[in-house]
Amino acid sequence: MKKRNLFKALTSLALCIVLLAGCSGGANNGDAAGQETGAASQGASDTAPAVDTDTAGNIVKGGDLVAPAGKSLMVLPVDKVADEPVRIAAIAMNTNPFDLSVYQGIEYAQKILVDRNIQVDFVSIKEHNITEYERTIRNCMAAGYDAITCNGFGEQLVPLIAEAAEEGIPFFIFNNPAGDENASMGFWGQSGFDGGNSLGELAVELTGGEGKYAIITGSFNVSGHEDRRKGFRSVADANAGMELIGEYENNDLYEKAYEITTNLLTANPDLACIYITAGGPFGAAKAIEDAGMSGKVVVVCHDWMDETIPYVRSGTISGCLDQDPFNQGYAPIVAAYNYLVGDVTPEKLNMIEGQIATPDNVSELIPE
pLDDT for res 21: 41
Q: Are residues 223 and 271 in the same domain?
A: yes
Would you state the pLDDT for residue 39?
Answer: 32
Residue 1: exposure state from Cβ atoms within 10 A (0-12, 13-18, ≥19): middle
Q: Which amino acid is at 227?
A: D
Q: Are residues 12 and 140 in the same domain?
A: yes
Same domain membership, residue 273 and residue 258? yes
| Residue 76 lies inside a defined structural domain of this protein | yes
For 43, counting Cβ atoms within 10 Å of its Cβ (0-12 exposed, 13-18 middle, 19+ buried), the class is middle
pLDDT value at position 235? 97
Distance CA 255, CA 233 (A): 25
Identify whether residues 126 and 204 lie together within a single domain: no
Number of domains in the chain: 2
Do 202 and 331 have their domain in common?
no
- Examine the domain organization and report whether 148 and 240 are in the same domain: no
Using alpha carbons, list the distances in angstroms from residue 248 to 219, 229, 264, 278, 360.
8, 11, 10, 12, 29
Number of H helices, E strands in the chain: 13, 12
pLDDT in tens for each of the 368 residues of the chain? 554 543 344 443 334 433 444 444 333 333 333 333 333 333 333 344 443 333 345 899 999 999 999 899 999 999 999 999 999 999 998 888 889 999 999 999 999 999 999 999 999 998 878 999 999 999 999 999 999 999 998 899 999 999 999 999 999 999 988 988 999 999 999 999 999 999 999 999 999 999 999 999 999 998 889 999 999 999 999 999 999 999 999 999 999 999 999 999 999 999 999 999 999 999 999 999 999 999 999 999 999 999 999 999 999 999 999 999 999 999 999 999 999 999 999 999 999 999 999 999 999 999 98
Q: What is the pLDDT of residue 2?
A: 55
Both 200 and 296 in one domain: the answer is yes
pLDDT value for 17? 38
Please indicate, yes or no, if residue 365 is contained in any of the structural domains: no
The separation between CA 283 and the C-alpha centre of its own chain, rounded to angstroms, equals 19
Residue 364 maps to a domain: no
User: Do 328 and 306 share a domain, yes or no?
Assistant: no
Domain assignment of residue 359, yes or no: no
Quick one: pLDDT at residue 173?
Answer: 97
DSSP string over 99-121: HHHHHHHHHHHHHHHGGGTEEEE
Q: Is there a domain that residue 361 lies in?
A: no
Boundaries of domain holding 288: 192-322
Q: What is the pLDDT of residue 179?
A: 83
Phi, psi at residue 86, to the nearest 5°?
A: -120, 135
CATH (domain of 34) = 3.40.50.2300
156 and 209 within one domain: no
pLDDT on residue 58: 81
Say yes or no: 75 and 22 in one domain.
Answer: yes
Q: Do 159 and 21 belong together in one domain? A: yes
95 and 183, same domain (yes or no): yes
